[in-house]
Amino acid sequence: MADPRDAGDLSRVETPDRRTPTWPRFAVIAAVLVLAFVISRATGEEVTEEEALVTANGLVDFAPEDTQIRLLRQGLDRHPFWVVSLSIPSPNGEGYEELAVVRIDAESGEVVQFDEQKNTPRGPDQDP
């Protein structure tokens, strides 16, 4: 049988389709995704939200009426910190009788920052 390229008919020449993914490609992609998920979960916080609240409440000498807590990741390494805000609003709604903000390392539980203020005015973006 003659080679089809010799006859000038290139339509019969079979070439592998490089755009068609094969199962090894899928396996590699799946393995990378699973590895990324495992690594992201392994570097999570060890201190729970409840533990951070207990730590922050233990630092203040008042019983807060309002409590806010957020997990923030800061820095290039996205280190997790719990930021806890404890407050007692003033009776006239213009500020706070007591206000404390505590930043806690979410991996070690160490108190990184503690700010306490008395008779603090509210910011313009805060509702009474």
Higher pLDDT: 41 or 89? It is 89
Q: CA 112, CA 104: separation in Å to the nearest integer?
A: 5
Domain membership flag for residue 96 = yes
Confirm whether pTM is higher than 0.95.
no
**pLDDT 10s digits, 61-102:** 999 999 999 999 988 888 899 999 999 998 887 788 899 999
Domain membership flag for residue 100 = yes
Q: Domain residues for 95?
A: 49-121
Domain membership flag for residue 36 = no
Beta bridge partner(s), residue 104: 82, 111
Residues 6+ apart with CB under 8 A from 46: 106, 107, 108, 109
The CATH number covering residue 112 comes to: 3.10.450
Q: How many distinct structural domains can be found in the chain? A: 1
Closest CA to 56 of 90, 16, 26, 99: 99
